[in-house]
């Protein structure tokens, strides 16, 4: 099944979106009033960032998210301006904000992520119902980001269960109890960091062999078909039942890591939805993550930069 963009349909789910506020100061100093530079506002949160990056790469997705209060209204307007096909589930409390402050004198970046609104049971159930209504048969559903207060830890597991009933591929990007519950249900792909994988298996995983072994065990146990392990400056590893593929980090000057993981996931799911081989999709993912890291603040990758970095990865 393909949509108008020539790929299998993709649905993204963001339970806990955030209005991303990005600015800069010369130096962060305690107890001082710091005059900031220009401010950038973006609709953020895992699934929404995946949808935005998919759009930048020429694909199409449908984004499901929650929104409430004045922040939620501003968030909706920004998404509309971005031209993202989206459906909002209204909640009573306000959508959270997150703040990124670049310290110009040192190049350091400070990130402040607020907890998020408290959900009533009927609110998260309404979002789950919307997932069931929008979930494409034979397509992909990407559930990404943190779980806010009031939402059960098995929320992503419930999405994975729905995906299985529709012959769809569930891709989960989370951590802790919510990721563990989803894996217990069984998913198509997870993309943990080295730290998240170590927490998941309750082991140190000090070297790459141990990390690959832990990913292979998840696959052998039927918990995930694919594991994309991100290693920061050391690159990334894609593990399947057939192969282990490792790629170095693309050669870029890192300006901001905000959204890089989401862009990685966007490149991966888009190429898989287009029918590309896992290794090819993985190369796009690494390039998309690096292209995003090379941009300031909360900006996301563009297709031209991703294509250039893919070519460089091929030549490496």
How many CB atoms are closer than 10 A to CB 168? 24
pLDDT for residue 168: 97
How many residues does this entry show for the chain? 316
Give, for 202, the enclosing helix (H) or strand (E).
Answer: none
pLDDT for residue 60: 96
pLDDT for residue 4: 54
**Where does 123-232 show beta strands of DSSP type E?**
140-144, 169-173, 187-190, 224-230
- Strand pairing report for 108-113 and 140-144: unpaired
| Cβ–Cβ under 8 Å, residues 187 and 195 | no
Contact partners, residue 276, CB within 8 Å, separation at least 6 = 284
How far is it, in rounded angstroms, from Cα 201 to Cα 223? 12
**Where does 1-146 show beta strands of DSSP type E?**
10-14, 18-25, 40-44, 62-67, 86-90, 96-103, 108-113, 140-144
| Cβ–Cβ under 8 Å, residues 128 and 158 | yes
- Strand pairing report for 96-103 and 108-113: antiparallel
Which domains can be identified in the chain, with CATH numbers? Answer: 10-28+36-315 (3.40.1190.20)
| Cβ–Cβ under 8 Å, residues 157 and 15 | no
Q: What is the distance, to the nearest Å, from the Cα of residue 266 to the centroid of all Cα atoms in its chain?
A: 7
pLDDT for residue 99: 92
* DSSP-derived secondary structure for 84-113: --EEEEE-SSPPEEEEEEEETTTTEEEEEE
> Which of the residues are catalytic?
262
Q: Read off the tokens for 173.
A: 């990007």
| Cβ–Cβ under 8 Å, residues 234 and 249 | yes
pLDDT for residue 3: 57
Contact partners, residue 31, CB within 8 Å, separation at least 6 = none
pLDDT for residue 218: 96
pLDDT for residue 206: 86
How many CB atoms are closer than 10 A to CB 63? 29
Give, in degrees to the nearest 5, the angle at Cα 52 between 50 and 55: 110
pLDDT for residue 5: 66
How far is it, in rounded angstroms, from Cα 247 to Cα 292? 17
Q: Read off the tokens for 313.
A: 């990865």
Rounded average pLDDT per 10-residue block, the chain, 316 residues: 75 96 93 92 94 96 97 95 94 95 92 92 98 96 95 98 97 94 97 92 90 96 96 91 93 89 96 96 96 89 95 80
How far is it, in rounded angstroms, from Cα 47 to Cα 290? 18
pLDDT for residue 297: 78
């Amino acid at each position: 099944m393909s949509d108008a963009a020539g790929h299998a349909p993709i649905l993204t789910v963001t339970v806990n979106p955030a209005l991303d506020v990005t600015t800069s100061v010369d130096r962060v100093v305690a107890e001082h009033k710091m005059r900031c530079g220009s401010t950038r506002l973006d609709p953020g949160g895992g699934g929404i960032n995946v949808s935005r990056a998919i759009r930048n790469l020429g694909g199409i997705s449908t984004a499901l998210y929650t929104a409430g209060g004045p922040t939620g209204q501003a968030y909706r307007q920004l998404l509309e301006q971005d031209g993202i096909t989206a459906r909002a589930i209204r909640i009573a409390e306000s959508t959270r904000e997150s703040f990124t402050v670049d310290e110009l004198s040192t190049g350091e970046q400070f990130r402040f992520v607020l907890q998020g609104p408290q959900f009533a049971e009927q609110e998260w159930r309404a979002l789950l119902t919307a997932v069931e209504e929008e979930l494409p048969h034979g397509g992909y559903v990407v559930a990404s980001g943190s779980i806010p207060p009031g939402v059960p830890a098995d929320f992503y597991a419930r999405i994975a269960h729905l995906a299985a009933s529709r012959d769809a591929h569930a891709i989960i990007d989370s951590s802790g109890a919510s990721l563990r519950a989803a894996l217990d249900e069984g998913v198509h792909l997870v993309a943990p960091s080295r730290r998240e994988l170590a927490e998941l298996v309750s082991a140190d995983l000090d070297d790459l062999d141990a990390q690959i072994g832990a990913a292979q065990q998840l696959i052998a146990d039927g918990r995930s078909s694919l594991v994309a392990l991100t290693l920061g400056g050391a690159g990334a590893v894609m593990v399947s039942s057939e192969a282990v593929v490792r790629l170095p980090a693309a050669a870029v000057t890192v300006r901001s890591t905000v959204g890089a993981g989401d862009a990685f996931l966007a490149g991966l799911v888009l190429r898989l939805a287009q029918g590309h081989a896992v290794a090819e999709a993985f190369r796009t993912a690494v390039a998309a993550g690096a292209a995003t890291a090379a941009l300031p603040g909360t900006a996301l990758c563009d297709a031209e930069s991703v294509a250039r970095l893919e070519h460089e990865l091929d030549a490496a």
